[in-house]
Amino acid sequence: MNSLSGTRPRWLPLAREEARGLLTAKGPWILAGLLVVWAYRPSYVGWQGLGPNQTVGFVQTAGSFLLPLGVLLLSYRSVVGERSSGSLKFVLGLPLTRSDILVGKVLGRSAGLAVPVSAAAVVLGVAGFVRFGIFSPLLFCGVLLATLLYVVTLVAIATAVSAVTTNTVRAAGAVFGGVYLFVTVFWTRFAELIYTILGGSSTGAFTAPADGLFFALFRLSPERSYRVLTNWLLGVGNSGAPYEDVITKLETPTSITIYTVESAFGGQTPPAYLHELSGLVVLLVWLVVPLGLAGIRFERGDLV
């Protein structure tokens, strides 16, 4: 027993405490209930495109717009909140390195959020099964795993912000204004602007240029990279738009302003870096890089 306990990661007790704190709080479970209400959207387009697997599409919808807002708001206080209250002094007194603290915070909060998010997905699965019949359990698990990876990525980003800010007001402003609004809600407009500044051709009302740079810029957002990955799993098309919009775009190209690789490139072969697995790569970059940079600042900074 002693040898086993000696091999446990030092951050494990902290991660366990973080997870327990979230699982016993109301916020994550309120978020789970809201995700079910938000995501259960049966539609003719979804049924025509996916059949019973429209149920799996509900999980992607749950992961869009509302999920990142909820996860960021439930995570941005992870470090700076303890700094403001003074409890960070106690954590620093434990036999933990500062890197251990960040790892424990991220993994613990991710676990504490993964459970209610998974519960919401199961409820959506049951509701979809009752209405539409049997769907692919393998596909359901694949999209759910991608969604949980997205959750971990968002927790890592929020924890990174929390680790480098000095008070909760600044952390909230950075998370909501910088991460949620800039990188999530309005990223499409910013990507178009960046592309134009870089000398790209202007986009038409319903068409995108057959340019790899254009689509690469669009999928730099964690949310759009998440949808690129899950749209690939769903088999609806190569795009960072919601799955129903992608289906509509590919069936009636001039009816909706949505950018898909298939519509833009037509019979041409798109660059290899536009493969849908690039969405996985972008998520992993967002998971590692901000947290790594914050870790350097966290190690060197005065925390109390």
Same domain assignment for residues 159 and 236: no
Percent of the chain with pLDDT over 70: 91
Q: What integer pLDDT is reported at residue 81 of this predicted model?
A: 83
Last residue of a domain, one of 167, 185, 203: 185
Would you say residue 3 has pLDDT above 70? no
Same domain assignment for residues 111 and 225: no
Max intra-chain CA distance, the chain: 67
| Domain-embedded: residue 301 | no
| Domain-embedded: residue 304 | no
Same domain assignment for residues 39 and 167: yes
| Domain-embedded: residue 288 | no
Residue 24's pLDDT band, with cuts at 50, 70 and 90, is: very high
Same domain assignment for residues 31 and 56: yes
72 and 271 in contact (C-beta within 8 Å)?
Answer: no
Last residue of a domain, one of 123, 157, 185: 185
| Domain-embedded: residue 290 | no
| Domain-embedded: residue 289 | no
Report, as an integer, the average pLDDT of 161-176: 90
| Domain-embedded: residue 193 | yes
Tens-digit pLDDT profile for residues 51-98:
999 999 999 999 999 999 999 999 998 888 877 776 766 766 677 788
Taking the whole predicted model, whether its pTM rises above 0.85 is answered as yes
Same domain assignment for residues 176 and 96: yes
Q: In which domain, by residue range, is 147 found? A: 8-185
Q: With the C-alpha atoms ordered 96, 22, 280, 274, is the resulting torsion angle positive or negative?
A: negative
Would you say residue 1 has pLDDT above 50? no
| Domain-embedded: residue 119 | yes
Same domain assignment for residues 169 and 222: no
Last residue of a domain, one of 185, 219, 248: 185
- How far apart CA 72 and CA 79 sit, in angstroms, is 13
| Domain-embedded: residue 3 | no
Same domain assignment for residues 140 and 21: yes
Percent of the chain with pLDDT over 90: 66
Q: What integer pLDDT is reported at residue 202 of this predicted model?
A: 63
Same domain assignment for residues 195 and 165: no
The number of distinct structural domains making up the chain is 2
Taking each helix axis from N to C end, the angle separating 27-39 and 66-75, rounded to the nearest 10 degrees, works out to 170
Same domain assignment for residues 81 and 172: yes
Residue 208's pLDDT band, with cuts at 50, 70 and 90, is: confident
Same domain assignment for residues 120 and 196: no
Same domain assignment for residues 42 and 160: yes
Same domain assignment for residues 121 and 107: yes
